[in-house]
Amino acid sequence: MNVLDVPVVKYSEDGSLHLVEQVAVEEPLEIYIDNAPFYMTMRLPGEEVALALGLCFTDGLITSMDDVSGANYCSDISTNKINVFLSDSRKKRPVRDRPKQFTSYSSCGLCGADMIRDLTASIEKIEKTITVPFAELFPMQDIMVAKQAARRSTGATHAASIFDARGNFLSFSEDVGRHNGLDKAIGKLLFEGRLREAKIVHLSSRLSYEMVMKAARLRTEILTGVSAATSLAIQVADALGITLIGSLREPRGNIFTHAERIK
């Protein structure tokens, strides 16, 4: 269950009422790699395996399901711990330490220019293969909004939807964390072997550099967000060849980078 009924006292100009409010459930999820701690996040319960696989993919630990021999809950008692097992072929390649990498990107000692150079070097620039009329972005965004059941009940979740080059729906997920929502949606495609079909990603959140990086791992050509984009997100998207569109709310939107993909 990802929605919980809780008692609340609602105040207004007419006084107060004792009512029941629906809130989004937020619980921790521990992700282990071959029985070793890898990452911990707060998430909306559900689709834990997709979240773990998606995170491993967007973090660069795996590139396909060929790198995975299995993924399961660590016990029958709790769904708050997932163990991902790497395949024998993947174990032959170095497995980097994610927490140290994450700490270095979060520290005050690393400047934006250094980060952009590092990110550009680690991911090949995305070539232009699609062109989309601007007006056709909104029906895709509408599909995402229509699927946001938890947000309609609670107002507390973010969502991500993935589409192919023709605007056909591929994957959707929502979560209390915007990063988790995208990782879950990507994880579903990874499991289905359909990553190469993904070309357009719509988000219900702001566009930060982390979201651009996840989209870049997916080889996304167009990334949109309902909210604004940060300066670093724009710089990274420009360097990696992604068309970044912020504040996308019909009939408007701000195209920050590589506008040639939009008619």
Question: Strands 36-43 and 222-225: what pairing?
Answer: unpaired
Q: Tell me: pLDDT of 204 over 50.
A: yes
Assess whether pLDDT exceeds 80 at residue 164.
yes
β-strands 158-163, 222-225: how paired?
unpaired
47: left (phi over 0), alpha (psi -120 to 50) or beta: left
Q: Give residue 13's pLDDT.
A: 86
For 36-49, the pLDDT digits (tens) are: 999 999 999 999 99
**pLDDT at position 106, please?**
38
CATH 3.40.140.10 fits 120-261, yes or no: yes
Bridge partners for 86 per DSSP: 68
Residues with a catalytic annotation lie at 108
Cα–Cα distance for residue pair 23/121, rounded to 1 Å: 42
Q: Is omega for the bond preceding 94 within 30 degrees of 0, making it cis?
A: no
Report whether pLDDT(100) > 70: no
Q: pTM for the whole thing?
A: 0.90
Q: What span, in angstroms and rounded, lies between the C-alpha atoms of 96 and 61? A: 8
The per-residue pLDDT for 151 is 95
Averaged pLDDT for residues 226-252: 94
| Percent residues over pLDDT 70 in the chain | 90
Residue-wise pLDDT tens digits, 50-74: 999 999 999 999 999 999 999 998 7
Q: What integer pLDDT is reported at residue 102 of this predicted model?
A: 39
Q: Comparing 220 with 232, which gets the higher pLDDT?
A: 220
pLDDT at 99 (0 to 100): 44
> What beta strand segments (E) does the chain contain?
3-12, 15-24, 27-33, 36-43, 68-73, 81-86, 158-163, 169-175, 200-203, 222-225, 243-249, 252-255
